[in-house]
Amino acid sequence: MKRILVAGAGAIGSYLAERLYNAGYDIAVLARGRRLASIRREGIVLETAEGVSSAMVRAELSCAGLERADLVLLCTKAPDLGEILELAAPCIGPGTVLVTLQNGVEAPDEVAARFPDVPVLAARAHGFFEMVGERVRHVGVEPSLAFGPMSSAACPSVQAFAGVLSKAGIAHSLSANIMGDLWEKLMLASTFGGLGAATGLAAGPMRADPAAWTMLAALMQEVASLALKRGVQLTPGCVARTMSFVQGFPSDATASLKRDLESGRKSEYANLTGAVIRMAAEAGLDVPAHHHVERMIRARGLLP
């Protein structure tokens, strides 16, 4: 794998592009608007605890003029996945490997349905990334990826992708149960993000508020119950472990779902908290904590 297309230049896509470019890979990034102009002008600038680094990657609005990619990292938010798949389609062909990095649990199936003959790996990203102006900032938890194949046809791609991550110094692990991992990430993103949007609280104040902290645990338990109802195997103690994970967040940490809803940007609500409510209704499962959080978000005027 030499030619890599990073489809989406938000925080996680920019982080991966910067690391891969500086590891010597041939990187192109799909971006738009101010982000496209910024990358063309200044490159990708990444701020971590170790300092500031940058990468003058190639940034394009479309795949016109780009060669077929060996690897395509799908890094847009879930609502934009369909659009980015069409933009990336000219760079996808025999031998290309697709990797999903969206929050939620439905992206791998959407990608596999669009490209049924292309290997799909599903990945779960750990780490807090945010855009500060046009600079990407990583804080807190050391970034890492867990990933796994969505079908037996994708299995031969696993080692090649692991090699790419190793060369770039990106911590990673091969998951024996990637759908379980995606559901456990949903347990975090839909609940911490949804409750943050409902209450306006960041991680520290949320931990200090007994009612909010109890609600967070109830939300996570509902996600675990829904996963079980849908036949997804989660690791024992995942709710307690995810609560402990939130305990370690920086006090001012917030989820992108909360930030997007509060700023009026397009959000992943329908793919996270809203998806839990939708899938629970389909499964005939009651999720009262999620309905309560949705009412609170609406009361804040953050949902139509």
**Which whole number is the average pLDDT over 44-63?**
92
Q: What are the domain boundaries of the chain?
A: 3-176, 179-299
> Would 3-176 and 179-299 be classified into the same CATH topology?
no
Digit-coded pLDDT (tens) for 143-185: 899 999 998 888 889 999 999 999 999 999 999 999 999 999 9
Give CA–CA dist 288/145, Å, rounded. Answer: 32
pTM, 2 dp: 0.90
- Choices 3.40.1190.20, 1.10.1040.10, 2.40.50.140, 1.10.4010.10: CATH for 179-299: 1.10.1040.10
- Nearest alpha carbon to residue 66 among 96, 36, 28, 97: 28
Give CA–CA dist 5/230, Å, rounded. Answer: 33
Digit-coded pLDDT (tens) for 68-118: 999 999 999 999 999 999 999 999 998 999 999 999 999 999 999 999 999
CATH class of 3-176: alpha beta
